[in-house]
Chains A and B, each alone.
Chain A
Amino acid sequence: MSNKKNKNLNRRSFIKNIGVGFAGTIAAAPLLKSHAKKLPEEIKDSLDGKVEVTVYVNGRKFRRNIFPQTTLAQFIRDELNLTGTKVSCNHGECGSCTVLIGSDAVYSCQMLALDADQKFITTIEGLMKNDELGEVQKAFVDKDGLQCGFCTPGQIISAYALLKKNPAPSEEEIREAMSGNLCRCGAYPKIIESVDAAAKLLKK
């Protein structure tokens, strides 16, 4: 199956599943039956309505069958069990779920996992260097750029994305780049210090 064809299927079955969700019926998609035919009977049920997605997360390739309405955040947490990525608002308002796609920081709760098909993703776990903290993580520890720690993975990913694009940001640039990540504990002054310190660590 070509990539293009696969995409079309994904979109159609996505719409179908949303429909099922809203109507709350179990008039399961006739569309999907034709695909189900090819599957062994015993796994048919669990795959009903699922589509395949392939992503490269933290340097590893993952292929999974998922419901098309699965968000990237759900996919990362539930399918890949990478629970460092948090979901705080699920509406693209707080930044707790920030991950890198390529070199861009994105809100993973606002993206379908399907739209990340074939993409390269980095989560907080991917910033680790084996068992050691990466530079940005180290800077957040040393400068105490956190309190409760729940928004921290998102903050660190946003900081990392900034520093990849701008290795020596001014304080204003740090504030701008980090303004999409809420910290209710209000560790902001120390987050600014942390990003500044991370820039210096990365330069070394």
Chain B
Amino acid sequence: MSDKIVKSKFFFEEDFIETIGEVSSKEYKSLPPNKKLKYVGKPLNRKDAPVKASGKAKFTFDIELPHMVYARTLRSPHPNAIIKDIDTLHARQVPGVFAILHTFNMSAFNGGKIEWYGNSFLFDPHVRYVGDEIACVAAKDEETAERALKLIDVKYEILDYEIDAKKSMNSKLKIHPDGNVRRGKPFEYERGSVKDGFDEADEIIEDEFSTQVAVHNPTEPHCSVADWNKDKLTIYDSTQAVFRVRNMIADALDTPKDSVRIIKEYMGGGFGGKLEAGKYSVMAALLAKKLKRPVKILNDRREQNIALGNRPDSVQKLKIGVKTDGTITALNHYAYAAIGAYPSGGGCSWPLRTLYKCDNVRTEEYSVYTNAGRARAFRAPGNVQGTFGLESLLDEAAEKIGMDPLEFRVKNFVDFDQVGGKPYTSKMLIEAYKIGAKKIGWENRNKIPGGGKGYVKRGVGMASQIWWGGGGPPAHVRLELDSNGKIVAFAGSQDLGTGTYTFVAQVIGEILEIAPDNIDVVLGDTDRVPYGPSSGGSTTAPSISPAARDAAERMKEKLISNAAALWNVESENVGFENGTVFMKNDKSKKLSAKDIVAQLDDKKISALGSREANPDGYSVQTFGAQFAEVEVDTLTGNVRVLKVVAVHDVGRILNGKTLENQFHGGIIMGIGFALTEEQIRDEYTGKILNDNFHDYKVPTIKETPEIEVFILGEGDMKANNMGVKGIGEPAMIPTPAAIANAVYNAIGKRIKSLPITPDKIITALYDEA
């Protein structure tokens, strides 16, 4: 066995990350197509569905420990202020209040800075947005804590503030000492020469697009329960990243990483908003240590909306040069985004750099600090926004040169990664266009945009998608087989509702020829599972499923060699079939896995599987195209999505049922972003005006259109030993752009800012006249 340590670099949510870890150097033959497999790819029921449907699943929200204390956070009512004084005299007198933390008493808790909040203090004396943490009260129950919060008297020096990215870029007001543009400069990229490219062009089209702030709003609020046992801290956390949270908490508390344990069995959604430790998790840990009792902090719906992450807005100025034959000669993207008061990413140029063939590309992106809640990764960060801009512009260019938008995209197809210079392991975008066009009835779309009859007009539009989604090491799965024949998989991951429990069992079941129902899967516990990556960036399935296969293959080898030893023969003489080991020259000689373990002194066989390194010389990406049909009521401005067809190259299907469900979810979230979701911040107070589910409109079952999902190919076999890629973000990326293009096709007016609300439709239709 020659496993090795590699440094690998892959894209995770907002940036490339480099990790060092042990990878498997075993090479396996690709599995045959799903139709020849027993479990992988089959639409098996979600393993965790029964416990969830019964109401018995314990979410972090449901964790109650003996003698538990409840904490609530006091948040700033001002968008920018210096805290001069905090008086807790009355708050402390409320019966049942046990402790109050705030900026002026933190020395007692070794209060340090929080690195991922721009090195601000846990309770920073400078509050930078409405919602910034000021104090935290622990009490016998939430109501008591809430009552005490209201009695804390805070004296502020109120400062001017800035919530608009463009104004903030040029403002004298400094939100952080190093200025309001993050890192002090834009992120710039150039290849070729855009000047030459535009000189070559027959037509140059320029336009500006913008997108809104959107909020994750998972149904389970962000929450943590902290519990100390001597020097060991256990945090039950609603998180997408148990190991990352462990490391962040340990760093914040300046304690060894192995003295912190993070547990998350079930969680109520994340969508990127739960990839890091919260300040609230650190507060819970500090309070629990001080009080020597478990502490629970639940953030309510309002806190979700004002303080726990969002998709930053974007303003995008795009310019494209094209020849009359459809060749794109140059692309230029200038964009800025308000990332809120603490470090985050607002870039959205990635799709433009890579999706279509173009030798001359320039992008310039500004992530700008504002006095607003900090942005966090949100399902395909940057790409949803950037794809809307790019794909809208592409349609404009196609129309200008009189070319069909689909034909225009086919013309500019490229089969290698123009940024990294490597070929793709797979890119089936042309096939996606063909199938999508057929299923939506592309030929029936309005030849003249807005040309339909009647006041309710239909339109069809499409958009393409690129996203990494290849995952990578380090990711491990440990299998344990006991003398009862029970097999348990401990996987370095967590399930967000994406089917991780299920596919781990399917992959192992396939290799060991055991029904997935008979395999227990343990996830989301840093003390029980081997190390694995955060669940974000569509990386879980492509990181974990190959590790699960590796573990199962090694377990199979161990069963064979143990049986060979018991029979005193060479391993080559032993075969494996239907979960049992047999002697090749005497098939009557058989041992089940259980029989083998029973004869071992250890009464147990373990096997550790690891994700292999990513393939050298290739770029692993997901691709897809979505086609939308919409109906626009030109009297009310209301847009209804009637149908979405999604055709994607996302590798092998692990489970047809959960895959389809997750695609539906991404598309529906895309419909929300396209039509209804928008966080509104009042420029006169810096406050959010719609911090609840009533005014912040997430899609309901009534807005759900007919959705068809098609997955191309049998698997991306060059990507990893399972041929699997991720699906979480590809599902959502092209949806808003496809809807926007369909709206244009319906009414002949282009809405250039999301969401496409009725007022924008009405203004576009009637105001210009």
Contact = CB atoms under 8 A, between A and B. Distances in A.
A86 B61 contact: yes
A146 B664 CA distance: 11
A31 interface: no
Across the A-B interface, the 10 shortest Cβ-Cβ residue pairs: A84-B55, A150-B268, A148-B497, A149-B52, A186-B668, A186-B665, A124-B55, A147-B497, A93-B693, A188-B704
B692 A149 contact: no
Chain A contact residues: over half helix, strand or loop, or mixed? loop
Contacts of A24: 90, 94, 147-148, 150-151
B666 interface: yes
Interface in A110-124: 123-124
A158 to B, nearest CB: 10
Contact of A185 (B221, B266, B665): B665
B664 A186 contact: yes
Interface in B215-259: 216-221
A196 B653 CA distance: 26
Contact of B661 (A147, A150, A156): A147
Interface in A5-25: 21, 24
Contact of B268 (A89, A148, A188, A189): A148
Interface string B489-500: 000000011100
Interface in A68-98: 69, 77, 82-91, 93-94, 96
Given A150-B219, A188-B699, A188-B701, 5 more contacts: A21-B143, A140-B49, A149-B59, A186-B699, A187-B665
A189 B704 contact: yes
Contact of A189 (B55, B216, B217, B707): B707
B45 interface: yes
A152 B53 contact: yes
B50 A133 contact: yes
B192 interface: no
Contact of A123 (B55, B61, B94, B692): B55
Interface residues of B, number: 60
Interface of B: 45-46, 48-50, 52-59, 61-62, 90, 94-95, 143, 147-148, 150-151, 216-221, 266-269, 271, 300-301, 496-498, 657-658, 660-662, 664-669, 692-694, 698-702, 704, 707
24 contacts: A21-B147, A26-B94, A83-B62, A84-B54, A86-B61, A89-B301, A93-B694, A128-B55, A141-B45, A141-B53, A142-B45, A149-B48, A149-B52, A149-B57, A150-B218, A150-B268, A156-B53, A179-B701, A185-B269, A187-B665, A188-B701, A188-B704, A189-B661, A189-B707
Contacts of A140: 49, 53
Contacts of A26: 94-95
Given A91-B694, A142-B45, A184-B217, A148 B143 contact: no
A202 interface: no
A149 B268 contact: yes
Given A24-B150, A175-B701, A186-B669, A94 B693 contact: yes
Nearest to B300: A90
A192 B700 CA distance: 12
Contact of A150 (B147, B269, B660, B669): B269
A85 B666 CA distance: 26
A133 B271 contact: no
A146 B53 contact: yes
A26 B701 CA distance: 46
Nearest to B49: A141
Given A86-B219, A89-B301, A148 B54 contact: no
Contacts of B694: 91, 93
Contacts of A185: 269, 497, 661-662, 665
A147 to B, nearest CB: 4
Nearest to A153: B55
A191 B699 CA distance: 14
A108 interface: no
A130 to B, nearest CB: 11
Contacts of A148: 218-220, 266-269, 496-497
Contacts of A153: 55
Contacts of B707: 189
Contacts of B692: 89, 91, 93
B274 to A, nearest CB: 11
Most buried by A among B94, B218, B269, B661: B661
Interface in A182-201: 182-192
Contact of B54 (A69, A77, A90, A133): A133
Contact of A125 (B46, B54, B217): B54
Given A90-B300, A133-B54, A144 B701 contact: no
Contacts of B143: 21, 69
B266 A147 contact: no
Contacts of A89: 301, 692-693
B436 to A, nearest CB: 18
B350 to A, nearest CB: 24
Contacts of B52: 146, 149, 152
B221 A188 contact: no
